[in-house]
A and B are shown apart, each in its own frame.
Chain A
Amino acid sequence: MNNLEQIRIHGRGGQGVVTAAELIAIAAFYDGLEAQAFPNFGVERTGAPIQAYARISKKKITTREQIYEPTVLIIQDSSLLDSGNILAGISDKTKIIINAKENRWDKLKNKKNLYFSPATEIALEMIGKNIVNTVILGAFAKYTKLVSLASLKKAIETKFKDKGEEIVAKNIKAIEKAFLK
């Protein structure tokens, strides 16, 4: 792990982008690390591109600036790759996790550290809805090892407590599947 891990998540309004960043921070905190998560709201509208950020460190995190040079980039909605510059600030070391079965983008051809997770497929199968934010975190835990699967599950239990046991159980199963895949 780097001194400061900076995770930037791209998705669309209504996909739980902000929740995903919060779950990462909660899980990292449960693992005994310092963590921070915050949203970057654009226009509050379903479908609008949204970013959220999470930071993980062994030291106290004080900065509030947005994440310009992510160490991990999570793309919840791959259609965002077709427009806009969501790859801004990435380096050869940036780990990129994409909700897709495989690479079909020319702009990713020469990129290193790519990880494809069929999150939509898993979400439809396990949760019954195209809500990929928790699913893709299973891939995040496996690929980056920045949070443990146990802490991620515990984070979901805490965060989704009010949504009921069934929702919690479904999300945890979906995360496990994405982790094992």
Chain B
Amino acid sequence: MIKNKITKKADQGKREILEGSRAVALMIKNIKPNVISAYPITPQTHIVEDLAKMKANGEADYEYLRAESEFAAASIVLGASAAGARVYSATSSQGLLLMAEVVHNIAGMRLPVVMTCANRAISAPISIWNDHSDVMNIKDSGFIQFFASDSQEAVNQHLLAYKIAEKQGLPVMVNMDGFILTHSYEPVIIPTRAKVKKFLPDYKPAKGTYLDPKNPKTFGAFFPPAYYMETRENLHQDLIKSLELIKKEYAFMIKTLGFNNKDNGLVEYLGPKNPKIILVALGSLNGTILETITSDKKLKTSVGLLKIKTYRPFPAQEIIKVIKAKTHVAVLEKAISLGQAGPLYNDVVEALSGQKNRSALIKNYIVGLGGRDISSEIIKKIIIDSPKKNASLKFYG
């Protein structure tokens, strides 16, 4: 057998081949939450089943609360977090929609809840397959949103999520594509408990910030017009501020884990220095785009990829740094704001709206809805179409 060309540093830890869901469950186990609550829904199921098994086998000491619905699961982690516990939940699709009311409350109460969204399409018609329609319903809730391209990114983003959540007092959702990542086997390194501890100290909320009979406190109280607006402005400002914190903590995490990632945790640009076209995308689609570009000699020198790893807060400044006024932009996304355009497209257009002398196009390609496969062939067609002056929004696939 010919040996693997990818060499790993000794201190990175053991590389294993695991299902994406299993990898995330093992990471959560090493993060040691106090309370987990979830309601099973495809394709999130394997994650929470694994965590329930770990508890049943005596390998973990968190409280695992089975809920009667996603609304209850989200409410349980809200309550536990308000009482000062480190918490975890996961869901998908209709489950997230049922959680929506609580999701907004969690963010409004500034609770450091961490959740996984195993992204799936929403009804009707019913689809169990992947797209990003679910999370786009709550993108404006005040949750920080990470998107993973592969299992390793999903694992790392969960660790980063707890650090950011607990430091900034904001909830974080890690998005990983249903089936495409949750049900895929691929090599991954699970950071050991010792490394996790080095990066993420045990959670000790400050006195007076959680429910405590000795220090009575109200969460989510009634705010009349004289006060409500400031709470929203503060939440917004803190989200914007967290961009710098994410960069800082991401760099620290990569160093602690012994990895050699070159990106800043917000975005990652891969491609030539002066590309004619840049493709922008969220999640696992980035892997297929990268393979399409790098396996073609012509595309390799003319097309770049901008991965959005942190979607909320939106890293507009990082995007302006990468995309020049003469570069065509194609935003590929697995969601649409029906009757308008793709949400990521709107964000990119807004980010580039102040760009002087923008002469090149920004176009929007809706792909992969309801699990439609996004092939290299489709991506190549999009690359050919993107510099052409025609409709700015198209459905491909």
A residues adjacent to B (C-beta < 8 A)? 1, 18, 21-22, 25-26, 29, 31-39, 41, 44, 58-66, 68, 148
Q: In the complex, which residues of chain B have a beta carbon less than 8 angstroms from the beta carbon of A68?
A: 375
Partner of A64, one of B6, B129, B187, B288: B288
Q: Flag if B185 contacts A62 (CB, 8 Å).
A: no
- Cβ–Cβ contact A25 & B185, under 8 A: yes
Q: Which residues of B contact A148 (CB under 8 A)?
A: 1
Contact with A along B370-397 (1 / 0, CB 8 A): 0001111000000000000000000000
Q: Are A39 and B183 interface neighbours, CB within 8 A?
A: yes
Contact with A along B265-292 (1 / 0, CB 8 A): 0000000000000000000111110111
B284 touches A34 (CB 8 A): no
**Is B291 a contact of A63 with CB atoms below 8 Å?**
yes
What residue of chain A has the Cβ atom nearest to residue B150's Cβ? A62
B184 adjacent to chain A (CB < 8 Å): yes
CA A25 to CA B188, docked complex, whole Å: 13
Asked if B4 is an interface residue, CB under 8 A from chain A, the answer is: yes
Cβ-defined partner of B1 (8 Å) among A21, A32, A64: A32
Complex Cα gap A18–B19 (Å): 12
- Let me know if A65 and B185 touch, CB within 8 A: no
Verify if B204 is at the interface (C-beta below 8 Å from A): no
13 A-B residue pairs with CB within 8 Å: A33-B4, A35-B185, A38-B183, A38-B185, A41-B129, A61-B186, A62-B149, A63-B290, A64-B285, A64-B288, A65-B375, A66-B373, A148-B1
Complex-state Cα separation, A65 to B373, whole angstroms: 6
B186 to A, closest residue via Cβ: A36
Q: Which of A34, A39, A60 is the most central at the interface, judged by chain B CB atoms within 10 Å of its CB?
A: A60
A63 nearest in chain B by CB position: B291
* Known interface pairs A25-B185, A29-B17, A37-B184; 18 further A-B residue pairs with C-beta atoms within 8 A, sorted by A's residue number: A26-B185, A29-B187, A32-B1, A32-B2, A32-B4, A33-B1, A33-B4, A34-B187, A35-B185, A36-B185, A36-B186, A41-B179, A58-B4, A62-B286, A62-B287, A63-B291, A64-B180, A64-B284
Please determine whether A62 and B291 come into contact, CB atoms closer than 8 angstroms.
yes
Please, which residues of chain A bring their CB within 8 A of the CB of B3?
32
**Distance between A104 CB and nearest chain B CB, rounded to angstroms:** 32
Interface of B is mostly: loop
| Complex Cα spacing A177 to B176, Å | 40
**Tally of A-B Cβ pairs under 8 angstroms:** 83
Chain B contacts of A29 at CB under 8 A? 17, 187
CB pair A1–B2 under 8 Å, yes or no, is yes
Contacts of A65 in B (CB 8 A): 288, 291, 373-376
Residue B5, interface by CB 8 Å: yes
Which B residues form the contact surface with A (CB < 8 A)?
1-6, 17, 19, 128-129, 149-150, 177, 179-180, 183-187, 284-288, 290-292, 373-376
What is the CA–CA distance of A160 and B286 in the complex, to the nearest angstrom? 33
State A12–B297 Cα separation when bound (angstroms). Answer: 39
Q: Tell me, rounded to whole Å, the shortest Cβ–Cβ distance linking A61 to chain B.
A: 7
- Interchain CA distance A51-B118 in the complex, whole Å: 21
Complex CA distance for A35 and B19, rounded to whole angstroms: 12
Q: Are A62 and B290 in contact (CB under 8 A)?
A: yes
The chain A residue with its CB closest to the CB of B3 is: A32
Chain A nearest CB from B299 CB (Å) reads 14
Residues of A within 8 A of B5 (CB): 58-59
Q: Give Cα distance in the complex from A38 to B3, angstroms.
A: 23
**B373 lies within 8 A of A39 (CB):** no
Chain B neighbourhood of A62, CB < 8 A: 149-150, 286-288, 290-291
Q: Which residues of A contact B284 (CB under 8 A)?
A: 64
Contacting residues, chain A, for B19 (C-beta < 8 A): 22
Chain B residues within an 8 Å CB radius of A36? 184-186
Task: Compute how far the CA of A31 lies from the CA of B285 in the bound complex, rounded to whole angstroms.
Answer: 28
CA A31 to CA B149, docked complex, whole Å? 25
Residue pair B2, A58 in contact (C-beta under 8 Å) = yes
**A29 and B1 alpha carbons, distance in the complex (Å):** 11
| Chain A residues within 8 Å of B288, by CB | 62-65
- A34: chain B residues at CB < 8 Å are 4, 6, 187
Identity of the chain A residue whose Cβ is nearest the Cβ of B4 in the assembled complex: A32
Neighbouring A residues of B184 by C-beta, 8 Å: 36-38, 64
When distances are taken between beta carbons in the complex, the residues of chain A under 8 Å from B177 are 64
Asked if A31 and B6 make an inter-chain contact with CB atoms under 8 angstroms apart, the answer reads no
CB distance from B396 to the nearest CB of A (A): 14
- The 7 A-B pairs at the shortest CB distance, nearest first, are namely A63-B291, A62-B287, A29-B17, A38-B184, A37-B185, A32-B4, A65-B375
Q: Once the chains are docked, how many angstroms separate the CA of A61 from the CA of B150? A: 10
Q: How far is the CA of A31 from the CA of B292 in the complex (A)?
A: 27
